[in-house]
Amino acid sequence: MADSRPRGRPRAFHDKTEQNTVQSLDRALSILAVLASGDGMTLTELAEAAGQSPATVYRVLTTFERHGFVELDPQTQRWHVGAGAFRTGSVFLRRTALVDRSRGAMQRLMRESGETANLGVEDQGEVLFLTQVETQEAIRAFFPPGTRSPMHVSGIGKALLAFLPRERLRDLSEHVLEGFTPASLTEIAPLDIDLQATKARGYAIDNEERTEGMRCIAAPIFNAHGEPVAGLSISGPVFRLSLARAEAMGALVKQAAQSVTEATGGRLPQ
């Protein structure tokens, strides 16, 4: 009989005993939590509050400091939670806020377009798909959460690139742009022309550039500074998502992306 346990979880997943924890990590995170509860602490104060020896606490602090999770004020000799901890925590806030506030818009977009709606962000120079709302059509696009795609052959990727500073296009020119289909834009000049058209109309078209027979239309989501931080798209087979429908579908995607921009406190660029 096949093992039905969820992937990524061992048999002892529900066993929370000490044998299934990393004790040094547990101790370090406890110290960080104590530090976060105050407004800066000296080494002695933190060691007393955490119930650990000063030597142990100092080793933990210097390790966290290396990663930017804590900072030492040299004037007061007090330790504080650092910017690294904020950046890590803000990822969770951005993810939950963006995904949660996008769901309604994605569901409406799927119903109105009849195609699968996708949400993605840029991550390490690629598009990372966060979630999707699938159409009920038998033939449909499928991008499970965690799927990645190169920016230059993705509707969402091109929607983001079109509104990012021009330096990003120069960065791309330093790398080989991989071709996936005969329609892939593997040279900077034609990609630049495509991005200018994308910016002018407000939505991008992946015209079978990543997968033959599939088309994608995408629009960017902006933050409070008018910067592109994510993208919404619809994807489907070319026989349904035809170029003749691109303008009408592009208007739907733009409207959905704008509603998410507004819901997350963003604004359209000037």
pLDDT, tens only, 30-87: 999 999 888 899 999 999 999 999 999 999 999 999 999 999 999 999 999 998 887 7
pLDDT (average), residues 75-104: 83
CATH fold label, 91-263:
Beta-Lactamase (3.30.450)
Q: Which amino acid is at 207?
A: N
CATH fold label, 18-81:
Arc Repressor Mutant, subunit A (1.10.10)
Q: What confidence score (pLDDT) does residue 147 get? A: 86
| Rounded distance between C-alpha atoms, residue 131 and residue 173, angstroms | 30
Q: How far is CA 111 from CA 86, 241, 248, in A?
A: 38, 14, 14
Q: What confidence score (pLDDT) does residue 8 get? A: 47
Q: Could you tell me the end-to-end alpha-carbon distance of the chain, in angstroms, rounded to an integer?
A: 60
Which residues lie closer than 8 Å to 270 by C-beta, 6 or more apart? 226
Q: What confidence score (pLDDT) does residue 163 get? A: 96
**Domain range list for the chain:** 18-81, 91-263
Q: What confidence score (pLDDT) does residue 95 get? A: 61
| Rounded distance between C-alpha atoms, residue 232 and residue 119, angstroms | 5
| Rounded distance between C-alpha atoms, residue 96 and residue 100, angstroms | 6
| Rounded distance between C-alpha atoms, residue 129 and residue 152, angstroms | 15
Q: Within 13 Å and on the Cβ side, how many CA atoms surround 239?
A: 3
User: Which stretches within the chain are classed as H helix?
Assistant: 23-36, 43-50, 54-66, 83-113, 155-163, 167-173, 188-201, 246-263
Residues 151-181: tens digit of each pLDDT:
999 999 999 999 999 888 888 878 889 999 9
Q: Which residues pair with 127 in a beta bridge?
A: 122, 149
Residues 179-198: tens digit of each pLDDT:
999 999 999 999 999 999 99
CA angle 81, 82, 86 (to 5 degrees): 95
Residues 203-255: tens digit of each pLDDT:
999 999 999 999 999 999 999 899 999 999 999 999 999 999 999 999 999 99
Which residues lie closer than 8 Å to 263 by C-beta, 6 or more apart? 101, 102, 105
